[in-house]
Amino acid sequence: MTAKERIVIVGGGFAGLNLTKYLDKDRFEITLVDRNNFHSFPPLFYQIASGGLDPGNISFPFRRELRKLGTEGLSYHMGDVHTIDVLRKEVRTQFETIEYDKLVICAGTTNNFFGNPELIKNVFTMKSAAEATRCRNEILDRLERASLCPDDPQRRRRLLSFVVVGGGPTGVEIAGAIGELKRYILQREYPGINSEDLQIILLEGTDRVLGPMSPQASEEALKYLKDLMVDVRLGKLLETYRDNVITLKDGSTIYAEMVLWTAGVTGETFLFEGTDYRPGRGNRFEVDEQNRVKGLTDIFAVGDIACMITDKYPKGHPQLAQPAIQQARHLAHALNTDTWDKPFVYKDKGSMATVGRNLAVADLNNGVHLKGTFAWFAWMFVHLISLLGMRNKLTVLINWVWAYFTYSTSLRMLLHSTKFPLRHRWGER
């Protein structure tokens, strides 16, 4: 019998999981490597951060999904790939060394702090379910402590000073979610806090929010944010953030005790051995129209970390779910059939963003633009059908319906970690 080719897939996001599904299991021995043992749905991380959903609602264990595909020639390995040896054809994690015949890098992106390493320790991010949960705990912790300061309005306002950096979809959505909390939830569940005490500022370096979307969508999103009492400041670039003070490029300052960073992304980093190859701009791998990494043999890149330059996309395809899914399916077909004559062509299905209840915008690929309630229901439908697993779909739908009619959710639970070191500001001893 002919031995199967060994394909190692690094990253189990939209690209990695779809590639795993569509590769021929009879032809290839497939190993999926990811630092987490579950697939998550990043477009809804902001709902975890705002207490609208639980991490388990939008996550799905890899082993359960792979079991559906059959275990023959298919395996999952937990690990964080840090080194790629192109001569020995090996990838190394903190736990093991894995050999490959073909390597597909689907590792996605991480936070980009634009050369300001101080921000890593001082701001909150939402690039994983764990980071989003940390944001939720911090927001809820601040609300609870602020409710205990009835005679100290200055301290209360400082506790509730939130700044979101970045006016893309994630920034707009988390700012809108906190704005909804301010407008609808605060007086009902935290009667000791005045809505004026909670300040949410959205900083965007360009002249409009939702830059990749149409000008019409940007204008409508800006209006929706203002309706939710979000202070949107355009053309403002963050210079530094130290001692709870943001200094902007223009020299002005903003006091903020919690800064949520959604301003940019960069590709995950790997150490290469046996070659002097280095990724390009944005730490992305430049690939040809078959997703083969230029300058490397038997190595492919798919999704956010891949940069396929075409006439229509001179800077590479947008770093969204749909390009990743479509590239993965195209590459799977090419590998299965060993045919490389059909170039990848991205079919743009449009983009959408939600700001709050009945407040959303959508630019569809046929030139149709939706706003308000219609866009909001379209956004809900698209995200529901994109979730893995019927249980997750039903759970998210029930939570959304319940929150829509009651303006409340049972998920605003503050879960402090019990591990050391102690966090003295929570009064632990």
What would you measure as the largest C-alpha separation in the chain, in angstroms?
79
Q: How many CA atoms lie within 13 A of 218 on its CB side?
A: 15
The two tokens of residue 309 are: 């330059």
Active-site residue, from 99, 131, 144, 173: 173
Backbone angles phi, psi at 378, to 5 degrees: -65, -40
Q: How many CB atoms lie within 10 A of CB 115?
A: 6
Cβ–Cβ < 8 Å for 35, 12: no
| Angle, CA of 341, 342 and 345, to the nearest 5° | 150
For residue 421, whether the previous peptide bond is cis, meaning omega lies within 30 degrees of 0, is yes
- Verify whether residue 72 is a known catalytic residue: no
Return the ∠ at Cα 159 (arms to 156 and 163), rounded to 5°.
130
Q: What are phi and psi of 58, to 5 degrees?
A: -120, 20
Q: Are 241 and 249 in contact (CB under 8 A)?
A: no
Cα–Cα distance between 140 and 52 in angstroms, integer?
A: 12
Which amino acids are annotated catalytic?
173
